[in-house]
Structure 1
Amino acid sequence: MSTVVNIGFADYLQISQLYADYARVVDSGDWDLWTEFFIDDCIYKLIPRENHERGFPLATLFFESKGMLKDRAYGIRETLFHDPYYQRHVVSAPLVHKAEAERFETEANYAVFRTKLSKESTVFNVGRYLDVIVRTPTGLKFASRHCVYDSEMIPNSIIYPI
C-alpha cells in the first residue's frame, strides 16, 4: 500500500477540480472535451483488478495516445450503435501518493451508475482510478489513467469512458 503524501492546498484543490471536471464532462457526454483532459502521449486503460494486480497487460479498453482517444470519441458519436443511456460518476476525494514539481501520482475510488431511458438506475462499474497527472501550460492533465474495476463480470459492452 502506497503512502499518502501531503501537498499544498492549491495543488490539492487543482487535482480535486480535475477529478470533478472529468466526471462532469464524461457524464454530460461531451466526448470532444473528454479528450482534452489528457496529454498527447497519454495512456487510458480500463482493466480488471485481477489483471492489474497480477501485472497482466490484457485490458478491456487500452488507448496509448490522445489520437486514439479522439478515435474513440468519434466512434461513440458517429459509428457505435447501442441503446442510449446516461451515466453518473461518484468519485471519492483523491489521495496523492507521490508529488513532484510537475507530476503527481494519485488515486480515487469511483462508482458509475447507468440509467437506460425506460429503466431504473443500476450500478454499472465500480473501482479505482490510478492516475499520473502532470502540469501543462493549460493546467493539470492526465498522463495516464488506469481505471481498475473490481468485478470480473461486466456488461457485454462498455461504450462510454469510465
Structure 2
Amino acid sequence: MLDFETYQQLLALYADYAAALDENQLDKWPEFFTEECIYKVQPRENFERGYPLATLAFESRGMLQDRVYGTTETIFHDPYYQRHVVGAPRILGVDTERIRAEANYAVFRTKPDEISTVFNVGRYVDTIRRTDAGLKFESRVCVFDSEMIPNSLIYPI
C-alpha cells in the first residue's frame, strides 16, 4: 500500500516529467531517471509478446543525455510542440525501495501553422525508485498502441 504523501510525490513526478517535455526543457529529462536506468519506446505487440525489439532503447542516464544532445544539436527536423495528457498512475506493486506503476498517456503534436494531431497513445509501464533526491524512474517503458509512429520519433514520449 502506498501512503498519501508518497502518492502525491508520484503524481508530481508524472506531472513534472510531462511539463518538462511539453515546455521543451529536454535538458531536464535525464534528471527524472536513476543513473542506471531503462527507457524504451516499444510497440504494444512486442511488449505483450515479450519481444525485446523497441523503437528506442536506452540503458543509462548517460545514454539519455546523449539523446538530448543529439536531439538539440545534430538532428534537423520540422519544428513542433508536444502536449502530454497523462492519466492517474495505477499502483501495481510497492516495496521499501520501488514502486511499480502504469499510466495511460496521449501525446499530441502541433506544427506551426497546422492543426494539432494525435502523435502517440499508449501506457507508461514504470518502476520508480525511492532515492535521497526523491522519486526517480528506474525503468520507463512507453508502450504505444499503434504498430507505427508517424514520421520519426525525435522527442521523448
User: TM-score under structure 2 normalisation?
Assistant: 0.98
- Sequence identity of aligned pairs in percent? 64
CA positional deviation for 1:32: 1.1
In 2, Cα distance between equivalents of 1:156 and 1:48: 15
Q: 1:71 aligns with which of 43, 66, 69?
A: 66
Cα-Cα RMSD: 0.6
**Number of equivalent positions:** 157
Tell me the residue number matched to 1:138. Answer: 133
Q: Please list every run of 5 or more consecutive structure 1 residues that lacks an aligned counterpart in the other structure.
A: 1-5
Give secondary structure in 1 for the equivalent of 2:6: helix
CA positional deviation for 1:18: 0.3
Amino acid at match of 1:87: Q
CA positional deviation for 1:88: 0.1
Tell me the residue number matched to 1:117. Answer: 112
CA positional deviation for 1:155: 1.1
Q: Please list every run of 5 or more consecutive structure 2 residues that lacks an aligned counterpart in the other structure.
A: none
Give secondary structure in 2 for the equivalent of 1:34: helix
Tell me the residue number matched to 1:61. Answer: 56
Tell me the residue number matched to 1:148. Answer: 143
Which consecutive segments of 4 or more residues in structure 1 shift more than 3 A?
Answer: none
CA positional deviation for 1:40: 0.7
CA positional deviation for 1:101: 1.5
CA positional deviation for 1:156: 2.3
In 1, Cα distance between equivalents of 2:23 and 2:75: 18
In the TM superposition, what are the counterparts of 1:2-21 in structure 2 within 5 Å?
6-21=1-16
